[in-house]
């Protein structure tokens, strides 16, 4: 959704509508296009604004393309020839371009010979609302809705009438509602007190913005009515913010769970303290990056593919660690801690030297960016929603593996009584490898998910290792459910505390809480009871 603050001169708008009408029978003249673009290429932004209007009224069918490219900063001009081109790919030193007039391929041009036609946020706003107006006439309902939503708060006098017509011909109720609100906001700005009645109860942030500014109106009646309406809205919002905090908490929790669940297996079930766990997460994240490098332009597909890939890579790395280090330290968990710490140092520096010390870009596919609108006031960010779901799925799968599969059975057998299990023909070593691979693989999955939330860089792992241990210990070592509950609850606690304690303090409080909790229940939330548990 786009919010506009550009105030379009009325003249221009009339021309715009005129232009829309004319567009059909507009005549193509070669000179005209060049001239239009010439006028765009001027140092002053006002001149540019006029040029944009000119382009729209020209009714030239390339204008839509031009405006889009201008918006994307891809409409550029060759310094020497003065030729206007559209840049297709603007990374690297030489850029592939097409001619802006003929729209035919114009080969490659050196970055340094090209002059971009810069725009600023004001122009960007102007362009967007212009395009929005155009979009109101498209056939796709969703586009029209978005367009209508964009117009909220950016309607001014000359637009009223044409919008009225639009509403009249609009068959989609939602679009009509939005446009009505847009007009109401406009009327409110004009000081029309009745508009408030129409806006009352809407949770839309731009409506609230309008009402807020209305409270500062010099007409006391309007001011009071506005604040009354606002108070009513705030009431509605309170529930929202409660839900929002809960969602924040859960999503943070899901991240913790993802990061910790692998550890819950290697550490909890096998009793192996793997300080390189964080780096396994990192590997998963880098796999996602690599995938996106392999499949340029298809971030979504790459992401999906990197789920198995990430698992595999991390699992293999895990096996390597298990074989090369951990197996020699069987039954010496504290030594394992130290050795794997060494491994983590090596892995980090490896990434730094082999790939780069800089963070890597991981693109979010469209279906993961933006947010899911529950109501006008509450929307859930998609990427976190996906991660939350992903975490639960991973957890469920793990439960299945541990509970239902042969591997799970063998793992439990081996961890409870190695010798016995051996004598029953279970190949303990193999089980160790498998278990460790599983745990590491899950860490890889966490990495894939995290790549959608945070940096993909050499330090990624370090930022999560401690939290992971906290979660596992808090939940009770060796208990997957514990890890889930612990992760989610810690997440929620943190987010509930944050607003009044601040991010740092909230984290500290949570840590202290964990410490004290461990004093009360030395074996975590869900300890294993009975004589076995006696040290």
Partner 1 sequence: MWLMQPFNEGATRLFLGVLLACLALVTVLHLAVPAGHPLHVSAYTVTLLGKYLSYALLAVAVDLVWGYLGILSLGHGAFFALGGYAMGMYLMRQIGDRGTYGDPILPDFMVFLNWDSLPWYWLGFDMPWFAFLMVILVPGALALVFGFLAFRSRVTGVYLSIITQAMTFALMLAFFRNEMGFGGNNGLTDFRELLGFDLRTDATRLGLFIATGVALAMGYVLCRAIVTSKLGRVSVACRDAEARTRFLGYRVERFQLFVFVVSAMLAGVAGALYVPQVGIINPSEFSPILSIEIVLWVALGGRGTLYGAVIGALLVNYAKTVFTGVMPDAWLFALGGMFVLVTVFLPRGVAGLLGYLQGLRFQGQRFNRDRNETQSRDISKEASA
Partner 2 sequence: MIPSNVYRTPRWLAVSLLSAAVATPVLAQEDPIKVGILHSLSGTMAISETVLKDTVEMLIEQQNAEGGLLGRQLEAVVVDPASDWPLFAEKARELLAQEEVDVIFGNWTSVSRKSVLPVVEELNGLLFYPVQYEGEESSENVFYTGAAPNQQAIPAVNYLMNNVGVERWVLAGTDYVYPRTTNKILDAYLKSHGVADEDIMISYTPFGHSDWQNIVSDIKEFGSQGKKTAVVSTINGDANVPFYRELGNQGINAADIPVVAFSVGEEELTGIDTAPLVGHLAAWNYFMSVDTDENYDFIDAWIEYTGDDMAVTNDPMEAHYIGFNMWTEAVKKAGTTDVDAVKDAIIGVTVPNLTGGYAAMMPNHHITKPVLIGEIQDNGQFSIVWETPSTVAGDAWSDYLEGSRDLISDWRKPMECGNYNVVEGSCGGSEAEVE
Partner 3 sequence: MSFLSSLADRDHVFDFLVPATSPVDVRHGPILYLEDVSVSFDGFKAIDDLNLTIDDGELRCIIGPNGAGKTTMMDIITGKTRPDTGSVWFGSRHNLLAMNEPEIASLGIGRKFQKPTVFEALSVFENLELAMAADKRILPTLTARMTGEVRDRIEEVLETIGLEELRNGPAGILSHGQKQWLEIGMLLMQRPRLLLIDEPVAGMTEQEMERTAELLTGLAGKGKQSVVVVEHDMGFVRSIARTVTVLHQGSVLAEGSMDQVAHDPRVIEVYLGADPDEEAA
- Binding to partner 3, residues 71-110 (CB under 8 A): none
Q: Which residues contact 114 (CB under 8 A, 6 or more apart)?
A: 76, 77, 78, 79, 85, 87, 95, 97
Contact 215, 227 (CB under 8 A): yes
String marking each residue 300-329 x if it binds partner 1 according to CB under 8 A: -------------------------x--xx
x-marked contacts with partner 2 along 498-527 as a string, rule CB under 8 A: xx--xxx--x--------------------
> Using the rule CB under 8 A, is 242 a contact of partner 1?
no
| Cα–Cα distance, 107 to 512 (Å, whole number) | 63
Taking the complex as a whole, how short is the minimal distance between the CB of residue 368 and partner 2, in angstroms? 9
In the complex, minimum distance from the CB of residue 300 to partner 2, in angstroms, rounded to a whole number: 13
Closest distance between partner 1 and the C-beta of residue 371, in Å? 30
Measured from the CB of residue 479, what is the shortest distance to partner 1 in angstroms? 9
Residue 238 as a binder of partner 2 (CB under 8 A): the answer is: no
Residue 529 binds partner 3 (CB under 8 A): yes
Query: Long-range contacts made by residues 350-353, C-beta under 8 angstroms, separation at least 24?
Result: 351/282, 351/286, 351/458, 352/458
Segment interacting with partner 1 (CB under 8 A) among 57-65, 248-256, 334-342, 359-367? 334-342
Please identify, among the stretches 174-182, 244-252, 345-353, 372-380, the one whose residues bind partner 1 according to the rule CB under 8 A.
345-353
Residue 494 to residue 497: CA distance in whole angstroms: 5
3-class secondary structure for 181-230? Answer: HHHHHHHHHHCCCHHHHHHCCCCCHHHHHHHHHHHCCCCHHHHHHHHHHH
Which helix (H) or strand (E) segment holds residue 106: the answer is strand 105-110
| Comparison of 503 and 533: residue with beta carbon closer to partner 3 | 533
Q: Which of 21, 301, 338, 400 binds partner 1 (CB under 8 A)?
A: 338
Side-by-side strand order, sheet with 114-116:
105-110, 94-99, 84-87, 75-78, 114-116
Contact 319, 440 (CB under 8 A): yes
Binding of residue 535 to partner 3 (CB under 8 A): no
Q: State the binding partner of 360 from partner 1, partner 3, partner 2, none, CB within 5 to 8 A by kind.
A: partner 2
Selection from partner 3, partner 2, partner 1, none that 293 binds (CB < 5 to 8 A by kind) is: none
By CB atoms closer than 10 A (0-12, 13-18, 19+), residue 380 is middle
Determine if 28 is a binding residue for partner 3 (CB under 8 A): no
Binding of partner 3 by 531 (CB under 8 A): yes
> Applying CB under 8 A, does 382 fall inside the site for partner 2?
yes
534 binds partner 3, rule: CB under 8 A? yes
Give the Å distances, CA to CA, from 39 to 42, 43, 56, 69, 320: 6, 10, 13, 16, 64
Residue 529 touches which of partner 3, partner 1, partner 2, none (Cβ within 5-8 Å per kind): partner 3
Q: Which stretch binds partner 3 (CB under 8 A): 30-38, 99-107, 391-399, 523-531?
A: 523-531
CA distances 344 to 83, 274, 466, Å, are: 54, 9, 13
Minimum CB distance to partner 2, residue 438 (Å): 26
The stretch among 79-87, 235-243, 507-515, 524-532 that binds partner 3 (CB under 8 A) is: 524-532
CA dihedral sign, ordered 179, 185, 191, 197: positive
Q: Does 217 bind partner 2 (CB under 8 A)?
A: no
- 331 contributes a contact to partner 3 by CB under 8 A: no
94 by DSSP, 3-state: which? strand
Q: Give the Cα separation of 284 and 398 in Å (integer).
A: 18
- Residue from 5, 332, 403, 404 touching partner 1 (CB under 8 A): that is 332
- Rounded to the nearest whole angstrom, what is the least distance from the CB of residue 104 to partner 1 in the complex? 49
User: In sequence order, what DSSP letters do the residues of 144-169 get, joined into one string?
Assistant: HHHHHHHHTT---HHHHHHHHHHHHH
Q: Decide if 114 contacts 95 (C-beta within 8 A).
A: yes
Q: Which of 502, 432, 416, 489 is nearest to 260 (CA)?
A: 489
Angle between helices 382-404 and 220-263 (to 10 degrees): 30
Roughly how many angstroms between the first and final C-alpha of the chain, as a whole number? 59
Instruction: Using the minimum distance from each CB to partner 1, give the nearer residue, 170 or 467.
Output: 467
**What does 511 bind: partner 3, partner 2, partner 1, none (CB cut-off 5 to 8 Å by kind)?**
partner 1
Give least dist CB 106 to partner 2, A. 19
- Rule CB under 8 A: say whether 530 interacts with partner 3: yes
Per the rule left: phi > 0, alpha: psi between -120 and 50, beta: everything else, 107 is left
Q: What angle (nearest 5°) sits at the alpha carbon of residue 374, between those of residues 372 and 378?
A: 95
Residue 82: which of partner 2, partner 3, partner 1, none does it interact with, CB under 5 to 8 A by kind?
none
Q: Is 480 in the site for partner 2 (CB under 8 A)?
A: no
**Residues 177, 455, 513, 517: which binds partner 2 (CB under 8 A)?**
455
- Which positions lie near partner 1, rule CB under 8 A? 267, 271, 273, 275, 325, 328-329, 331-335, 337-339, 341-346, 348-350, 353, 415-416, 462, 466, 469-470, 473, 476-478, 504-505, 507-508, 511-512, 514-516, 518-520, 522-524, 527-528, 532-535
Residues that bind partner 3 (CB under 8 A): 529-531, 534
């Amino acid at each position: 959704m786009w919010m506009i603050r550009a105030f379009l001169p009325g003249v221009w708008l009339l021309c715009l509508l005129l232009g829309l009408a004319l567009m059909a029978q507009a005549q193509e003249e070669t000179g005209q296009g060049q001239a239009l673009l010439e006028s765009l290429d001027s140092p002053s932004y006002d001149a540019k604004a006029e040029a944009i209007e000119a382009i729209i009224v020209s009714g030239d069918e390339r204008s839509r393309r031009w405006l889009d490219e201008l918006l994307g900063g891809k409409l550029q001009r060759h310094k020497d020839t003065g030729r206007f081109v559209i840049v297709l790919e603007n990374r690297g030193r030489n850029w592939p371009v097409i001619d802006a007039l003929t729209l035919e391929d114009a080969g490659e041009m050196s970055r340094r010979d090209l002059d971009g036609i810069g725009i600023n946020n004001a122009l960007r706003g102007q362009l967007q609302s212009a395009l929005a107006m155009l979009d109101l006439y498209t056939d796709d309902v969703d586009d029209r809705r978005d367009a209508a939503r964009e117009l909220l708060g950016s309607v001014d006098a000359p637009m009223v009438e044409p919008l009225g017509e639009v509403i009249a011909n609009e068959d989609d109720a939602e679009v009509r509602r939005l446009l009505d609100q847009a007009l109401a906001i406009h009327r409110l700005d004009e000081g029309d007190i009745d508009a408030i009645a129409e806006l009352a109860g809407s949770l839309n942030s731009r409506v609230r913005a309008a009402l807020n500014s209305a409270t500062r109106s010099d007409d006391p009646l309007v001011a009071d009515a506005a604040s009354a309406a606002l108070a009513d809205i705030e009431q509605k919002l309170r529930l929202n913010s409660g839900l929002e905090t809960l969602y924040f908490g859960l999503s943070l929790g899901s991240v913790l769970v993802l990061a910790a669940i692998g550890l819950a297996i290697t550490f909890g079930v096998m009793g192996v303290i793997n300080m390189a766990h964080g780096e396994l997460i990192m590997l998963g994240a880098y796999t996602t990056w690599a995938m996106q490098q392999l499949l340029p332009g298809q971030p979504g597909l790459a992401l999906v593919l990197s789920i198995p890939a990430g698992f595999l890579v991390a699992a293999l790395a895990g096996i390597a660690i298990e074989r090369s280090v951990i197996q020699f330290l069987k039954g010496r968990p504290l030594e394992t801690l130290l050795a794997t710490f060494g491994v983590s140092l090596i892995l980090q520096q490896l990434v730094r030297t082999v790939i780069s010390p800089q963070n890597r870009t991981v693109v979010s596919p469209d279906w993961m960016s933006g947010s899911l609108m529950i109501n006008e006031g509450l929307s859930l960010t998609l990427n976190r929603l996906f991660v939350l779901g992903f975490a639960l799925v991973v957890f469920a799968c793990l439960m299945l593996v541990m509970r239902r599969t042969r591997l799970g059975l063998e793992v439990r057998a081996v961890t409870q009584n190695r010798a016995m299990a051996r004598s029953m023909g279970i190949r303990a070593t193999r089980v160790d490898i498998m278990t460790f691979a599983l745990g590491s693989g899950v860490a890889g999955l966490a990495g894939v998910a995290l790549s959608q939330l945070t940096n993909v860089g050499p330090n990624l792992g370090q930022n999560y290792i401690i939290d992971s241990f906290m979660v596992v210990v808090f939940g009770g070592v060796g208990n997957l459910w514990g890890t889930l509950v612990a992760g989610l609850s810690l997440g929620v606690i943190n987010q509930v505390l944050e607003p009044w304690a601040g991010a740092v303090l909230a984290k500290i409080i949570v840590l202290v809480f964990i410490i004290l909790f461990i004093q009360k229940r030395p074996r975590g939330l869900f300890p294993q009871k009975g004589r076995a548990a006696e040290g």
